[in-house]
Amino acid sequence: MTPAEAQQRIAQLRADVARHDERYYRQAKPEITDFAYDGLKRELAELEAEFPLFATADSPTQRVGDDRVQGFREVAHRQKMLSLDNTYSEEEVRAFHTRMVRLLGTEDLHYTVEPKIDGLAVSLTYEQGRFVRAVTRGTGDKGDDVTANVRTIASLPRELKKVRGTVMPDVVEIRGEIYLTAAEFERINAERAAAGEELYANPRNTAAGTIKQLDAAEVARRKLSIVLYSLGHCEPAVVTTQARLHERLKAWGLPHVERIWHALGIDEVWASIGELDALRRSFAYGTDGAVVKLDDMALQREVGATDKAPRWAIAYKYKPDTARTRLKAITIQVGKTGILSPVAELEPVFLAGSTIARATLHNEEEIRRKDIRVGDLVEIEKAGEVIPAVLRSFPEERLPGAPEFDLPAAVGHKCPVCGGKIAKLAVADEEAQGVAWKCQNYDCSAQRTGRLGFFCSRKALAIDGVGGVVAEKLVELGHVQDPPDLYDVAQETLATLNLGTAEKPRVFGEKNAAKVVAAREAARALPLEKWLYALSVPDVGETTARELGRRHRNFTELADSALLRAVLQKAGLAAERELQAPSSRKNPAKSDEDRARRKELCVRLDAEIAGLDAGPLAGVPSDIGPAVAASVVEFFASVPGKRLLAKLQQLGIDPQGTVVAAGVFTGKTFVLTGTLPTMKREEAEQKILAAGGKVSGSVSKKTSYVLAGAEAGSKLDKARELGVPVIDETEFQRLLGR
């Protein structure tokens, strides 16, 4: 691989990992298995090692995934919450031991082997034995305060039991994992199925999603569990070995792991990993691996840790369970944006605790790449976290003549739901990335159902109960075309809505109907950003909706947005500028005269662009680029877009934007570095935001000021290199006061 190729691949991998981190840590909705994710991270780490020139401190290989979400108080951990290095290979577990031997100068090393619990990490603080706080891992340095939610966990003691002959630490951080038992997960899903709500994919993500709910009463309804396995800060220190720690956790009355293994040397470690594998499916929590730790805490301190993980531990992850079965057919599902997704219909097979008859095939490209054909023997994987996926086929066992899968041909070149036109288009949304076949009919009932479900989802307007089969029936029976039509459905109609069949009726019910009516009324008051997101405007995700909501007063202003026009105008000017550049490859200057004329033209174009940047586009983030602008403008000018706006008007729904008042820092971006003499970092950030400015983590040409304090780091060098103005706190206060 050439350095240029490596650089490109590294950038791609970082973007992919960042997207998957967002889905896993914040949205609790991963789209790939841990195994596939670990593969991406490994490739990235290897490339960074081979091409150190492209290694950066902010690479996902150098930090822990960030789980923080809005709405929670942030709390600093007293001792950093680290992650673990992990591997799928025996060889690397053995290499870990070799490293320990080299660092510590002895072969005689004791380890513990413990279950690696597949939940979400949390740190509990007990002061004088009383539970006072629970914080998620967050960035590792600080996380979200989820104390109220953790208090709902019945098995967690509020007081640690006194252990005779030992001291109770003044302050101790106890770390562990929050999880849902399989039984509780199934109970929740059964309840959701009965209410016509979308089912959760797996226990881990449901637990993660639950702990990040702002309403503790809601959390209490789901019986979360917890298990503790390690210490953070502890004053005074109470134990000297990992094995003793487990005993102490037990003695304090805390929920602890079922079993740990003591191992002397690497062969015993490897044998223990095997024993754990045979037992792990009987544990109450999902166990996706084994954690090997040096037993002696003095030795742990001696080998130390990197920024991200201790050197004295390693996680061995078991390969996800797989099974072989026959691919009976490939059917096509239509999502809310019209994307056609292939689904594998399988000969039912028992795998990792459940019978599997369907699996995702992602997209047409993937089917081709893996050479999967109807009738094939296939290997499927279920990693406990995500929808089962088809891993591979066995072409050597295929009967000759099996045709390649051709998606458009399989659906007769039309949408399998509405019969409408389909087209292959570039897509970039929550359903898929890249190129996909799409149903072009906005009024396709599958799209209508998908949009209604999304409109009512938690992240959108939170009208609980209107997902899955409920949305399907409302559309099927003609009650709803566009999501806002939901406001016209009478409570009585909702209550008697038949979710079953004519022979086996099952109604939605009075109570559920009353809840929907209350929730839809409450949603009237939600801001423009929520409504915009809820209406599934093409290319408008959560962030874009927020940015647009902050810059427009209402839908009327957005539909005729001067800002979006300016974005498009700038894109047009930039394209023209590129074409007119005398050095343009596509359009080289023909003569000196031509060159001079075009140079002049470019100066004019640059000035126009700069005028837009300083004027209507000042402070507009890159989220709102020409593609988004074109999508939004087009959508509100289209028949469906106009229909939606007219409907909202008729319903008297007029969501308001949260336009931030212009301040002294409007359009200015700050980067903070070092310690300020009197102001805390958060304080300075607040002041910047309140004055209309923005705060960014890295210095670029677009940075307006770097606010630097004592012990400023590389950001200061970068600022000097790029000629970005550097100011101190005094200067900052002066600018603020102006």
In degrees, rounded to 5, the angle at the alpha carbon of residue 494 between the alpha carbons of residues 493 and 500 is 105
Which 3 state secondary structure label does DSSP give 175?
strand
In degrees, rounded to 5, the angle at the alpha carbon of residue 277 between the alpha carbons of residues 124 and 32 is 70
Residue 284 Cβ vs ligand IVH, minimum distance, rounded to whole Å: 14
Residue 116 Cβ vs ligand IVH, minimum distance, rounded to whole Å: 4
C-alpha of 159 from chain center: 35
User: What number of H helices and E strands is found in the chain?
Assistant: 26, 22
Q: Which is nearer to ligand IVH, 34 or 539 (CB)?
A: 34
Q: Which is nearer to ligand IVH, 5 or 141 (CB)?
A: 141
Which 3 state secondary structure label does DSSP give 178?
strand
Q: Write down the catalytic residue from 29, 41, 80, 116.
A: 116
Q: Which is nearer to ligand IVH, 313 or 605 (CB)?
A: 313
Of 109-117, 188-196, 588-596, 678-686: span binding ligand IVH (CB under 6 A): 109-117
Site for ligand IVH in 274-293 (CB under 6 A): 291
How many Å apart are CA 92 and CA 88, to the nearest integer?
Answer: 8
| In contact, 37 and 383? CB cutoff 8 Å | no
Sign of the dihedral through C-alpha 594, 596, 602, 604: negative
Residue 80 Cβ vs ligand IVH, minimum distance, rounded to whole Å: 9
| In contact, 328 and 399? CB cutoff 8 Å | no
Return the residue of 173, 177, 295, 381 that touches ligand IVH, per CB under 6 A.
177
Residue 130 Cβ vs ligand IVH, minimum distance, rounded to whole Å: 24
Site for ligand IVH in 301-360 (CB under 6 A): 310, 313, 315
Residue 388 Cβ vs ligand IVH, minimum distance, rounded to whole Å: 23
Which 3 state secondary structure label does DSSP give 263?
strand
| In contact, 717 and 669? CB cutoff 8 Å | no
- Which residue has its beta carbon closest to ligand IVH? 121
Q: Which residues contact residue 117 at a Cβ distance below 8 angstroms, ignoring those fewer than 6 apart?
A: 176, 177, 179, 227, 229, 257, 285, 286, 287
Return the residue of 13, 28, 75, 82 that touches ligand IVH, per CB under 6 A.
82
Confirm or reject binding of residue 486 to ligand IVH (CB under 6 A): no
Residue 367 Cβ vs ligand IVH, minimum distance, rounded to whole Å: 32
Confirm or reject binding of residue 60 to ligand IVH (CB under 6 A): no
Confirm or reject binding of residue 17 to ligand IVH (CB under 6 A): no
Q: What is the DSSP string of 521-556?
A: HHHTTS-HHHHHHHTT-TT--HHHHHHHHTT-SSHH
The residue count of the chain comes to: 738
Q: Considering CB under 6 A, how many residues would be counted as binding ligand IVH?
A: 15
Q: What character string, x for contact with ligand IVH (CB under 6 A) and - otherwise, covers 111-140?
A: ---x-xx---x-------------------
DSSP H helices in 284-433: 297-303, 364-369, 407-410
Residue 82 Cβ vs ligand IVH, minimum distance, rounded to whole Å: 4
Q: Which residues of 315-342 are buried (b: 16+ CB within 10 A; e: fewer)?
A: bbbbebebbebebeebebebbbbbbbbb
In a 13 Å sphere around the CA of 709, the CA atoms on its Cβ side amount to 14
Catalytic, 116? Answer: yes
Q: Which is nearer to ligand IVH, 229 or 531 (CB)?
A: 229
Q: What character string, x for contact with ligand IVH (CB under 6 A) and - otherwise, covers 622-641?
A: --------------------
Residue 258 Cβ vs ligand IVH, minimum distance, rounded to whole Å: 12
Sign of the dihedral through C-alpha 287, 292, 296, 302: negative
Q: Which is nearer to ligand IVH, 25 or 229 (CB)?
A: 229
Q: What character string, x for contact with ligand IVH (CB under 6 A) and - otherwise, covers 208-247?
A: ---------------------xx-----------------
User: Which parts of this chain interact with ligand IVH (CB under 6 A)?
Assistant: 82-84, 86, 114, 116-117, 121, 177, 229-230, 291, 310, 313, 315
Catalytic annotation, residues: 116
